[in-house]
Structure 1
Amino acid sequence: MSEPAHHSTWTTFGLMEVGESTLGVNIANLTEVQPIDGLSPLMVSHPAFLGAMRLRGRLIPVFDPRVLCGFPRTDTPPAIAAIMAHEERLVALAVDEITGLAKADEAALQRLESGGAAGAVCSSEGSTTTAA
């Protein structure tokens, strides 16, 4: 009997720089990017939570992707919010720069199982980190 063929699932990601790493956000979830003019504190105790930004009358929680992937937080204030939607909720990741688009084989990505980042994945190759 022959083995079943491996079917690759390719996904397009919006690429962003976060410190020394590149972050990829699945474009199916990426709604927009906005500059972060300021963050308001909220009563949230998650270590990756940076604050909330106002966008068209809504408060959107902003998280540090470095902390979500197990790296230490930096003192540099966040510059850009990558805003993502899931169902009716919006959440943002703080990034330094928007750099483009790329396709990746889902089989090459390792899902992040802890840290409150459901749907986030960290690549097993190089320094690429992605959030699905």
Structure 2
Amino acid sequence: MPHVIVRAAEAQLVGREAELVAGLTDAVVDVYGEWVRDQAVVVLVAVPAGRWGIGGRIIDTPPPMVEFGINERALARDDATEILARLAAGITDCLARVLGEAHRPGVLVEFRAQHADRTALGGTLVSAR
């Protein structure tokens, strides 16, 4: 179950939530295929004004930060670099389109490997399913 967590300034997200959820889901589907649409999870975390700092200073319009949870096995594939590059590009394209092109250079996408033996869904380890 891929999950995308976006942290952005609250003012950037307000009124754009539905477009972001749909666009980020589409970016995941473009890489994995339509089968993943119902499993893709998108969480938007709105950071209030005055609570984001870079270089020791408060930033009012920081670039979005994204955490993408991906199955550890995907990283062992021969095409892992291509998969990650396509995901990063699709996520960045969506955020730039919805939040503004000025954010594109600063969008940070971090991939977090999920190990089946260390991930549970509904109280059961994923590896046991």
- Is TM (by shorter chain) over 0.5? no
TM-score, with structure 1 as normaliser: 0.26
Query: Which structure dedicates a bigger proportion of its chain to strand?
Result: 1
User: Between Structure 1 and Structure 2, which shows a larger proportion of helix residues?
Assistant: 2
